[in-house]
Chains A and B, each alone.
Chain A
Amino acid sequence: MSFGLGDWISMIGQVMDRLPLTLALLFVSLFFAIVIGIIIAYIRLEKIPILHQLATIYLSFTRSTPLVVQLFLVYFGIPQLLLVFGIDINHWSRFVFVVITFSLHTGAYLSEVFRSSYLAVGKDQLEAAYSVGMTYLQALRRIMIPQAFRVALPNAGNHTIELLKDTALAFTIGMVDMMGQVLFIIGNNYGVGMFEIYVAIAIVYWVICIVIEAVISLIERSLMKKHASISH
């Protein structure tokens, strides 16, 4: 089969038609995951009774069951559960279910990242901030979070890349993202194999992944500079 460079480029173009959806999934889920991560990290750090135990079970569940099972549970299970109480959410868009699943999943991982980076900054920093008369919120905003952010960045970056790759699962519940687009490309082209299409998709994901990595290392380096200038 002759499959020239031009064919590859046109196919990658067709796959990229669905890139905005993948990126929307990524950023919307990431936003909610960060919110969830902060809330869970706070609950675990402050050891709020009951909520703390619930958070621990939630973390254990999300981190030891496959994401695709969680996706099926949310997409098929929650509407079934709510129907028992007479609430019908079957008409909700798939996008909502996917975002719920991915936010809960990534949020669990991010909460551990946030928690450990907060602990890494250390209690003495907080005490020092108190000793110069800052309130807790001031200390958090001016002292703790800027330092914790630097510690959390590499891990948070890794989880962002994981999330990007996870978005490829959305097609299992029928979303037409890059993976879902495959059948349409097959329908439109003659002589294009599944193999070539999936290689093209892999290349697109790879490139996005490398871009995210580069952006994160850029931020890291700029933070490093600031850090060095303070300590010297």
Chain B
Amino acid sequence: MTTGTQAPQTPQVPQHADTFANRLVGRIRLNGMMALAAPLLAILFAGLVTSLVLIITGHPPIDSLLAMVEFAGMPRTMVGIINLASAYYLSAMAVALGFRMNLFNIGVDGQYRLAALCAAAVGGAVTLPKPLHIALIILVAVLVGAAWAGIAGVLKARRGVSEVISTIMLNTIATGLGAWLLTSWAVPVAGSNNIGTKPIGESGQVPGISLIPGAPNQVFGLFLLAVLVGIGFHLLLNKTRFGFDLRSTGLSEPAAVASGVNVKKMIVIAMLISGGMAGLVGMPQLLGSSYSYGLDFPPGFGFTGIAIALIGRNNPIGVAFGALLWSFLDVSQNILNFEKVSPEIVTIMQGVIVLAVVIAYELVHRYRIVAEQRRVSRELSASARTEGAAA
């Protein structure tokens, strides 16, 4: 890989090593026209491939896409998209926090499922005044998520176990533990083959917000939680000493150590925070709609979060768009199916978008590097010529 070019004008900005990994997770920013070019290129590429897939499978691409847009434009669907995106956003931010420190938390899935289960059980077991009840449920979720992720953090800090391996294993353990806890805590849902924790009482339920005019349904109240987490993420990373340490550890561990950062402590704390955020993932759904953790509680948000963090380049704003886009595609599955398009097409679209974003940004970055090198060599030869003329 080409190393950072010493741009003569901007020596004060610390240069990140210009590696693929740094470009991938958005540590190296594009500016000017190129910042626009990358997402545009990605959309163009994703659109082309998707259309191609639709044509190959014998569906008119324009009509299919129009149907998706039309469906998503209905107020009720918009609410559904925002609700689903809230969970995706929280999940992606939990992953993004790890990414910013070079930690790959694949365990968000297990963390949020276990957290939601424990929170639902506690929430169903007690009755408290409204704000306290909600706060207690969320606190339990955060603590359980943090504790579960913390295991991986401690393993890495103390024993050097890769968090990729340990979090994947912890996912499997969370599934087994969750199934056991669910069967021991669950009450049968009357007359159904479903089982679930005791429903959370009225005092623990978060009222919805009528955000979209004309929609018969409401946006989850905890949609605001996602917004707060996004703002908090930005402030934590960019305005605090801790955020600076976290980012510098992610960039170069030896350099961080040299400047006095306790890397082991950072790993554990970062995993705890990431896990705590993961614990929130199930909350909008649990406190806004399900009120109970049952067999039908949606799994898999943790893995979706990884893809969305990549699309959003670990940036709170980018991830918001990524989450909305992903949620839009998920919700479109039904309408596409209705139009005789196999719902698996949506999965292809989502995969293509992730690829397209990675490829487009990489292409634009390479173009930037080449352009910069040309410019530098041009300047050098120009100055050589003037020097020659002067001599």
Query: Are A and B associated in one complex?
Result: no
